[in-house]
């Protein structure tokens, strides 16, 4: 296995002094190492993968050094525009190394949302005319690949990709100390149970990518509740709130609730402006803010350093509440917001972390969709 420390040292030897990216489960130990080891000027956890490319371009323009962008292949789509219309050698020609966690690589069993994305990842890179090499767990090959990537990026003045297989990185020897959480904070799963139990029966719920959808699914099973009014946004991080708005606008009688994550809300923050300025739609947008990308390893987000409620207010939501964290406050706010009409926002602060035996939906996305639309259109 590749040691995150050694791989970072190999990159640093090639002149890499800045990394930006969105965390990924396959890169989690590399991300943990970088986040703990680098000074703040050397590393940014970006809002989305495309903005990470922008940061890398800016860093290169200012310093001439080689930046690294890291991401999960789910986020490749977010990078395509700035890779092709900004960093590409036919535009500004910016050298950079793009480290991509390869979920759904052919032959590796993975969740439905990763299968096609994984299969077409090399073809997408080929179509973008971006050279790439694969990293399995071989440390010597990884060091050589780092040298190849930096040399090729420098020579061509263009982005070069390293595609990282599952299990390639070993454990990080260094981790940022975990944040303190207050006593009254609930786990995300308990907060989800409280919220679903407080909402009027039959409310349409659109849950975001990662553990929020998985915990909603599990909670329904444990509480013996029907799952037909839940849409689980298994992929497509950052789009749940817009799916919810699309439903709410098209179904004026429906009470629609989005269970969003802070990382997801930040990833496409512009969606909040669209919700806040929408003139129709009964939508309650709830962000479960744990200040982390919990689903892929718990790397921090900036969501507890900014005011999500301030943003919602400024975007024009009809009513904004929170942050709340105590059980009684969450229950009271959800009950009260469910009675109000228009576009509403609630920030709920929860603890990072999940239980180790958290399951995954047993139905396919197609089955989830069929049940959901039967209930919604019924
Ligand atoms: C475009 C895209 N980038 C990255 C990922 C990988 N990913 C899945 S869930 C997740 C973290 C989500 O964080 P947040 O919304 O805060 O929810 P939490 O996991 O903390 O509950 C990430 C980065 C993805 N699925 N799609």
pLDDT band for position 142 (cuts 50, 70, 90): very high
Neighbours of 204 (CB within 10 A): 23
Does 22 sit in the ligand 1 pocket, CB within 6 Å? yes
Q: What is the per-residue pLDDT for 174? A: 75
Residue 177 has pLDDT above 80, yes or no: no
Whether 78 lines ligand 1, by a CB cut-off of 6 Å, is: yes
Q: Is 271 in the pocket of ligand 1 (CB under 6 A)?
A: no
Q: Is 75 in the pocket of ligand 1 (CB under 6 A)?
A: yes
Cα dihedral angle (306, 282, 274, 87), rounded to 10 degrees?
80
- What angle is formed at CA 211 by the lines to CA 206 and CA 216, rounded to 5 degrees? 50
* pTM for this model (two decimals): 0.97
> Which atom of ligand 1 is the closest one to the Cα of 23?
23
What's the mean pLDDT in 153-157? 98
Residue 54 alpha carbon to ligand 1 centre in Å: 20
Predicted local confidence at residue 321, as pLDDT = 98
* Average pLDDT over all residues of the chain: 96
Interval 218-238 mean pLDDT:
95
For residue 49, how far is its CA from the centre of ligand 1 (angstroms)? 11
CATH topology of domain 186-377: Rossmann fold (3.40.50)
Give per-residue pLDDT as tens, 319-350. 999 999 999 999 999 999 999 999 999 999 99
Fold (CATH) for 4-164: Rossmann fold (3.40.50)
Strands (E), the chain: 16-21, 43-45, 66-72, 96-101, 132-135, 159-164, 186-187, 204-207, 230-232, 256-261, 283-289, 292-293, 299-300, 319-324, 343-351
Residue 333 confidence (pLDDT): 98
Confidence class for position 365, pLDDT limits 50, 70, 90: very high
For residue 184, the model assigns a pLDDT of: 85
CATH 3.40.50.970 in the chain: give the residue spans. Answer: 4-164, 186-377
Neighbours of 167 (CB within 10 A): 12
CA dist., res. 356 & res. 172, Å (int): 20
Q: Is the minimum distance from the CB of 344 to ligand 1 under 6 angstroms?
A: no
Which residue has the least CA distance to atom 1 on ligand 1? 75
pLDDT of res. 60: 98
- What length does the chain have? 378
Which DSSP category does 169 fall into?
B
| C-alpha–C-alpha distance, residues 346 and 204, integer Å | 16
* Three-point CA angle 34, 186, 261, nearest 5°: 55
Is residue 7 scored above 80 in pLDDT?
Answer: yes
H helix runs in 185-342, sequence order: 188-198, 211-223, 240-250, 262-267, 270-276, 308-315, 327-337
pLDDT single digits (tens) 69-89 = 999 999 999 999 999 999 999
Q: How far is the CA of 238 from the centre of ligand 1 (A)?
A: 8
Q: Taking a C-beta distance cutoff of 8 angstroms, is the pair 155, 147 a contact?
A: no
Whether ligand 1 lies within 6 angstroms of the CB of 95 is answered as no
Q: What is the pLDDT of residue 181?
A: 86
Q: Which of 176-180, 250-254, 306-310 has the highest mean pLDDT?
A: 306-310
CB of 73 sitting under 6 A from ligand 1: no
If pLDDT is split at 50, 70 and 90, which confidence band does 236 have? Answer: very high
**What distance in angstroms lies between residue 260's CA and the mean position of ligand 1's atoms?**
10
Buried b vs exposed e over 244-255: b needs ≥16 C-beta within 10 Å? bbebbbeeeebb
pLDDT tens-place string over residues 239-284: 999 999 999 999 998 999 999 999 999 999 999 999 999 999 999 9
């Amino acid at each position: 296995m590749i040691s995150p420390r050694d791989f970072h040292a190999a990159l640093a030897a090639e002149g890499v002094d800045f990394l930006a990216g969105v965390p990924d489960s396959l890169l989690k130990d590399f991300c943990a190492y970088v986040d703990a080891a680098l000074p703040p000027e050397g590393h940014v956890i970006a809002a989305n993968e495309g903005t990470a490319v922008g940061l890398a371009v800016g860093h290169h323009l200012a310093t001439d050094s080689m930046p690294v962008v890291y991401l999960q292949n789910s986020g490749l789509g977010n990078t395509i525009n700035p890779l092709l219309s900004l960093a590409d050698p036919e535009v500004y020609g910016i050298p950079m190394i793009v480290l991509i966690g390869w979920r759904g690589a052919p032959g590796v069993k993975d969740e439905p949302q990763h299968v096609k994305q994984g299969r077409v990842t090399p073809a997408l890179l080929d179509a973008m005319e971006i050279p790439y090499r694969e990293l399995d767990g071989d440390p010597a090959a990884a060091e050589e690949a780092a040298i190849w990537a930096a040399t090729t990026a420098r020579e061509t003045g263009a982005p070069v990709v390293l595609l990282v297989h599952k299990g390639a990185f070993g454990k990080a020897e260094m981790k940022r100390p975990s944040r303190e959480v207050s006593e009254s904070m609930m786990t995300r799963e308990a907060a989800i149970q409280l919220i679903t139990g407080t909402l009027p029966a039959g409310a349409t719920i659109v849950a975001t990518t990662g553990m929020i959808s998985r915990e909603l699914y599990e909670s329904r099973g444990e509480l013996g509740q029907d799952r037909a009014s839940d849409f689980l946004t298994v992929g497509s991080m950052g789009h749940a709130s817009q799916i919810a708005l699309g439903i709410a606008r098209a179904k004026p009688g429906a009470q629609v609730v989005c269970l969003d994550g802070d990382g997801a809300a930040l990833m496409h923050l512009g969606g909040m402006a669209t919700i806040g300025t929408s003139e129709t739609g009964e939508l309650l947008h709830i962000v479960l803010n744990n200040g982390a990308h919990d689903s892929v390893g718990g790397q921090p987000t900036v969501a507890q350093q900014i005011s999500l409620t301030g943003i919602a207010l400024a975007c024009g939501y009809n009513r904004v509440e929170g942050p709340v964290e105590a059980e009684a406050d969450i229950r009271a706010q959800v009950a009260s917001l469910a009675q109000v009409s228009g576009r509403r926002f609630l920030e709920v602060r929860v603890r990072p972390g999940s239980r180790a035996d958290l399951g995954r939906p047993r139905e396919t996305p197609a089955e989830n969709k069929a049940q959901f639309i039967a209930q919604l259109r019924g």
